[in-house]
Structure 1
């Protein structure tokens, strides 16, 4: 089971869109995929077309990580209504906020790791959609993960946030979870004709070297359309959707290849 946190320390960069794109790639490849919606905004749960029903949420699981609670918080994605495959969601909730504290006990920081130990035989790929902060929810997610995928955009503030994210991953690896590493940073929402965007992309390449995942992801209306209709991009019609799907396939391949990228490389 490959466990990846999808993170950004700046909001509004399309983190959940990237999470759903990678989940779509996993779905297309036939991987048993679980998306854990750590973000209190719960956009990933919406994008996966999940019917809440009587399901519990991540908040219930973090408060009581018993096997029965964990199972009751997992729901099938609506993506599978007309297409075979396994895509599940552990449902997000605004109640997640109660766990997003700046200070965690040793037991609390390992809470999500404890949860995933119960699910290890059930999934090939687990994606944790984290809130855009470095408080308790993100640190619980990172501690349970093999890799952190940092989502950024070509702007001044996002460059600084990416630098903070890499530094925080390295610090958590040294202090808490030796297996944790940064998978890299994917630059999202790029407008190829923008001089400012190209300047920031070049700046990130110079600063972060091979931690920048190539190629950057262009801003595409089709991603908003697919997400808005709760449809995986791999099933959305049109050439633009095919191009976007190919980029997420490449991102999934990087996740599966699991090439370590050391601190400062």
Structure 2
């Protein structure tokens, strides 16, 4: 703002009548709203889960289990009748049901009898590097957290050892996995504790299991904002930028201590290009950019890409690793019958070619309604929705996650 405009504005403000209307202290009002909202969220969680309980996962019927394992339902039933593998629970109408841990045990059993290594256990082998996928966007509402959660959960169900890391201070990914930040992380326990400059904690101490077999979580909360505030201060100190431990290496260094335990890391980044996002991108081996196919969202993504290029170019010159196995754009909240959206998708495919994933995530009430109960589509009961709505949304997510798994396998040379 120019000096003339500032002087003019200041003069006008001085001429305004004073104290005609009682004013509210915004900090007190916000604090009041925050307490009320927090109390209601706590009560909501108490309604869904007992106070001392952890989030649990439903059992999967034999048809779903067979689909995850890529075997026939008849073959799965024969295993159970022969007494091989975990014993399924009996359900209504003589149905058989398996937990996610049962599915993991069945994978190990089937892999032992497989002629082709990796048929049922598709994770890393000797010489394969850890896959670290950053899910990013500059604009909120693009389906970033929804994408990260469904990707991590489906990969875990498919036999990958997955670590999900919530780097977004809003902590939506954490809440989807049963973590209430202001209660469960009152004394810390986020990634910030592992990447802070003073007295960092080992990342292994911050990892907590989820209700999915093969899926662990490093949750997030507002503590992560300390990294955004502390990093400029450290960079301003003499010699900090030339130290042997620059900020953009922090996440990669933390991951080194648990690298052998996982095949895949999924990082949900905040909807901004700050120090956290740059550190996550420096640790990544792949980048997934979610985008809603509307003009304003694509324009926002353009600004994000321009800023990313400039800032990561500086990081690369400072020694950061900016080489990725792949970068893809994922179209989210897609409505096939929307003409302008189809035009925007065609525009992106013409511009970016193979860098746009072939499959989009469809806009679905099933996905949004599941989130109301802090669940994903892999967690909710199919009977909660109309069959066609559920299957259409699930088919969309499975296609996207399958395509991403293909990119993971290709990066490992398979």
* TM bucket normalised to smaller: 0.7 to 0.9
| 1:139 and 2:275 matched | no
Superposed CA RMSD in Å reads: 2.6
Q: Gapped runs of 5+ residues in structure 2? A: 1-129, 236-240, 383-389
Quick one: which of 70, 79, 99 aligns to 2:227?
A: 99
Comparing 101-110 with 68-77, greater Cα deviation is found at 101-110
Quick one: which of 192, 201, 209 aligns to 1:76?
A: 209
Alpha-carbon separation, structure 1, partners of 2:133 and 2:374: 22
Alpha-carbon separation, structure 2, partners of 1:110 and 1:119: 15
| 1:114 and 2:249 matched | no
Greater helix content: 2
In structure 2, the CA distance between the partners of 1:32 and 1:259, relative to structure 1 (3 Å rule), is: closer
| 1:252 and 2:404 matched | yes
Q: Gapped runs of 5+ residues in structure 1? A: 261-265
Greater strand content: 1
| 1:61 and 2:194 matched | yes
Larger radius of gyration: 2
Q: TM-score, normalised by structure 2?
A: 0.56
Cα deviation, residue 42, structure 1? 0.3
Alpha-carbon separation, structure 1, partners of 2:360 and 2:198: 38
| 1:234 and 2:397 matched | no
Tell me the SS of whatever aligns to 1:141: helix
Cα deviation, residue 243, structure 1? 1.2
Alpha-carbon separation, structure 2, partners of 1:167 and 1:22: 27
Q: How many residues are matched?
A: 255
**Equivalence for 2:164:** 35
Tell me the SS of whatever aligns to 2:265: strand
Quick one: which of 73, 77, 90 aligns to 2:218?
A: 90
**Equivalence for 1:192:** 336
Cα deviation, residue 232, structure 1? 4.1
| 1:14 and 2:143 matched | yes
Of the two structures, which has the highest relative contact order with CA contacts closer than 8 Å and spacing of 6 or more? 1
Tell me the SS of whatever aligns to 1:184: strand
Comparing 219-228 with 240-249, greater Cα deviation is found at 240-249
Cα deviation, residue 170, structure 1? 5.3
Cα deviation, residue 90, structure 1? 0.6
Alpha-carbon separation, structure 2, partners of 1:179 and 1:167: 18
1:164-208 per-residue CA deviation (whole Å, 9 max, x = no partner) reads 444556563754214235521001011122122112112211222
1:89-144 per-residue CA deviation (whole Å, 9 max, x = no partner) reads 11101121122368564611100010010110111110110011111010000000
Q: TM-score, normalised by structure 1?
A: 0.85
Comparing 171-180 with 133-142, greater Cα deviation is found at 171-180
In structure 2, the CA distance between the partners of 1:235 and 1:251, relative to structure 1 (3 Å rule), is: farther
Cα deviation, residue 72, structure 1? 2.5
Tell me the SS of whatever aligns to 1:225: helix
Cα deviation, residue 68, structure 1? 4.7
Alpha-carbon separation, structure 1, partners of 2:175 and 2:225: 18
